[in-house]
Amino acid sequence: MDATLIGQSLVSGLGIGCVYGLIGIGFCVIYNASGIVNFAQGAFVMLGGMITHVLLVRGELPYGLAILLAVLIVALLGVAVERLVVRPLWNRNAPMFVMILATLAAQIVIERLTYLAIDDQPKTLPVFTDLPPVMLRGIAVNMQSLWIVAGSLAIVAALALFFKTTRTGKAMRACAINREAAALQGIPVHSMLALAFALSAGLGAVAGIMLTPTQYTAFDIGVPFAISGFIAAIIGGFGRPFGAFLGGLMLGVTQAGAILAFGAGMKTIVALSILLLFLFVRPSGILGPAK
Amino acid sequence: MTSSPNIISRKGPDLRRVFPVPAQPAPRNRLAAAAPWLVAACIVGYALFAGGYPATVVGFALIYAIFVSGLNIFMGLTAQVSFGQSAFAAVGGYASAILTTQYDWGWLPAMVAGIAAALAAAFAIGYPTLRLKGHYLSMATLAIGLIAHEIAVEWESVTMGYLGISGIPPIDIAGYELAGDRAILIMLSLCVAATVFAVSRIRSSRLGRAFAGLAGSEDAARALGIDVARYKLVSFLLAASFASFSGSLFVHVVGYVSPEVFSLHMVILSFTMLYVGGIGTVAGPVIGALVVSALPETFRAFRDYQDLAYGTALILLLIFAPRGLAGLFAALDRKPSSDRGKGGTAP
């Protein structure tokens, strides 16, 4: 096995790892705001790519506008999930497991609605910039991978800024530390939950849109991506957004290595085994638990 | 009833008072207690009478009833979480399929081997997994279900991958093949009856009260000397063996198995059934399985909408009627309150 091949899969692993990381951050944002693990996270990834495709091909909108609109629509759908599924259960003090089951059911419902509204054919999007791949010591890095890495890093930086400097970001962090104390300080905890869903749905959509040109999207890709994102969040220590991003990168690279070593069929099994390994041996992740 | 506080004595009848078995109050009149069974008997009876397609649908429902009953032991009685029971159904199903088609085993030894394999797998998986709690346990079990599905897809030399295994012989008893709709239906009804009997025995036994104890509060149960880790594992093993049993039945009835049978769809479907019927009750899984299977079949034109309907129904149930039909039957029970003082015990 030569070095370029290893380098090549390292690059593709980092690209997909960024996507897992963004999805993982989505998990953490909702978890921090509410203590809920939203298993419908994958639906937002799928919707990002699908809605952009529809706007681009059927709506004939310019690419940039289509992407922007798609992210906004998915963020709104995130709020809709919060309002229709999570909020009623939350108000009834449903046990955590019921909440998980409900979001998993929401995932299936969204999947099916997409299937009925669009179709079951795989869709793809054009690459963002149609340029030849950059050569780095014999390793071809395609432009879309660069977009994914650069875009993800920019988003992570923007999120860090948002949580550190803005009033809303600080309020969300306060909710993560202690919801009751935050409520006593006058922070509207309920709107923070809605905002968290909007934010993490938007993150999922962006991840889905950036990824689609390199692979494809279809109504049923959500669950595997949700699981990869969850694994990323676990590796990083659940509830730590930046740990999740790091976890995503590690997962992406490990998976790429596994594909190289055992073939593409083993990709999911390796990822799930990593999850189990972490859950059994170090459930608090590489950075330790949040709080 | 003794008044001494011998809570953890060998016979231990008092544990029942300390840990009232959850979600199923003692029925106060016979009709209310019998109502779910009457509904179930009517549906099965109609299918027996009609034969053909309704018999097939009800047959599937009965297989699911066994699977969901197992799930109910782990989730309803013991209040644990598993999204991965489909893995054990897959173990049973594939064991039966492979042993009967490729190694010419009889259906019974194959089924027993399947259950043994599922128990071994559940033991190996349960030991590390059940220490986890909350969303960690949810995700770990979901991962196990998905790994089983992936293995069924990828391990082509044994499972034939997506192609699946066909030509699985039907179950035969004393040389008589159970191949007709009605014969299969009767056999499955007997299996469900045996399952229900087993679950109700487990529920009212010392074991069941220990489950109820750790469902109520693990700390309190531990304080009373209940070995929490061990009972969780026992509950998991029981659930896995019922899952494996239902998997074996499925492949013999259908004659074919593929990974798609044990996908996430099965998980969502079985949870819908559990919640429709009423989690934590003995009759709930049976009623839930029958009602949920029967409803979409009455609207067959909407085949594409099936998963949509299950998902939506599940969300609505979780929000508005978390006790399912059992809550309805309980409401039926509450009205005639003439003989309230009697206070019978749970069936």
CATH label of the domain that carries residue A98 = 1.10.3470
**DSSP 8-state code for residue B345:** P
| Helical residues (DSSP H) of B19-133, grouped into ranges | 30-50, 52-72, 86-102, 107-129
Q: Give the domain ranges of chain B.
A: 53-329
CB B244 within 8 A of CB B89: yes
Instruction: Tell me the torsion sign for CA atoms B279, B220, B346, B77.
Output: positive
3-state helix, strand, coil in chain B (%, to 5): 75, 0, 25
Summarize the confidence of residues B107-125 as an average pLDDT. 89
Q: How many angstroms separate the Cα of B4 from the Cα of each of A78, A122, A164, B8, B14? A: 56, 69, 61, 11, 9
Cα–Cα distance measured from residue B36 to residue B328, given in angstroms and rounded to the nearest whole number: 10
Q: Is residue A175 part of a domain?
A: yes
The full DSSP string for B148-206 is: HHHHHHH-HHHH-GGG-EE-PPPPEETTEE--SHHHHHHHHHHHHHHHHHHHHHHHHSH
Domain that holds residue A89: 3-130+146-281
CATH number (3.90.70, 2.40.30, 3.30.70, 1.10.3470) of B53-329 reads: 1.10.3470
At A32-91, the pLDDT tens digits run 887 788 888 889 999 999 999 999 888 888 888 999 999 999 999 999 999 999 888 888
CB B57 within 8 A of CB B293: yes
Helix (H, G, I), strand (E, B) or coil at A235: helix
> Comparing C-alpha atoms, which of B321, B65, B316, B285 is closest to residue A109?
B316
Q: Which residues in A have their CB inside 8 Å of a CB on B?
A: 37, 84-85, 88-89, 92, 94, 96-98, 100-102, 104-106, 108-109, 111-113, 115-116, 223, 227, 230, 234, 238, 265-266, 268-269, 272-273, 275-276, 279-280, 283
Domain count, chain A: 1
At A96-151, the pLDDT tens digits run 778 888 888 898 889 888 888 888 788 888 877 777 777 777 777 788 888 888 99
More confident residue, A179 or B300: A179
Residues of A in contact with B147 (CB under 8 A): 268-269, 272-273
Q: Is residue A137 part of a domain?
A: no
Q: What is the pLDDT of residue B346?
A: 39
> Comparing C-alpha atoms, which of A58, A50, A65 is closest to residue A124?
A50
Tell me which of B85, B136, B317 to substitute to probe the interface with A (most A C-beta atoms closer than 10 Å): B136
Q: Which two tokens stand for residue B307?
A: 């998963």
pLDDT of B265 strictly over 90: no
Rg (CA), chain B: 20
Burial A110-137 (b: 16+ CB within 10 A, else e): bbbbbbeebeeeebebeebeeeeeeeee
CB atoms A88 and B319 under 8 Å: yes
Q: Is residue A183 part of a domain?
A: yes
Instruction: Tell me the torsion sign for CA atoms B243, B249, B252, B254.
Output: negative
Within an 8 Å CB–CB cutoff, is residue B316 touching chain A? no
Residues of B in contact with A100 (CB under 8 A): 81, 135, 138
pLDDT-derived band of residue B29, with 50, 70 and 90 as boundaries? low
Q: How many angstroms separate the Cα of B112 from the Cα of each of B173, B176, B248? A: 16, 20, 9
